[in-house]
Amino acid sequence: MQQEYAINDGDFRKIVQLVMNTAGIVLSDRKRPFVQSRLGRRLRALGMTDFRQYCRLLEAPAGEEERSNLINAITTNHTAFFREPHHFTYLANTVLPKLAAGPAGQSRRLRIWSAGCSTGEEPYTIAMTLREHQSALKDWDVKILATDLDTNVVTHAAAGIYDSDRLESVPPPHRKRFVTELDADRSRVNDEVRSLISFAPLNLLQKWPMQGPFDVIFCRNVVIYFDKPTQRKLFDRYAEILRPDGSLFIGHSESLLNVTDRFDLVGRTIYRRVK
Q: Which residues are marked as active site? A: 38, 148
Write down the H helix ranges in the chain: 9-23, 32-46, 51-59, 64-74, 86-90, 96-100, 121-132, 151-159, 172-178, 191-194, 228-241
d(CA 271, CA 258): 14
Under 8 Å between Cβ of 39 and 15: yes
d(CA 19, CA 16): 5
Amino acid (one-letter) located at 239: A
CA 242 to chain centre: 17
d(CA 13, CA 30): 13
Indicate the length of the chain as a whole number: 275
Amino acid (one-letter) located at 98: K
Residue of 159, 151, 150, 273 lying closest to 216 (CA atoms): 273
d(CA 250, CA 147): 15
Residues with Cβ within 8 Å of residue 44, at least 6 apart in sequence: 2, 3
Q: Which residues of 44-58 are buried (b: 16+ CB within 10 A; e: fewer)?
A: eeeebeebeebbebb
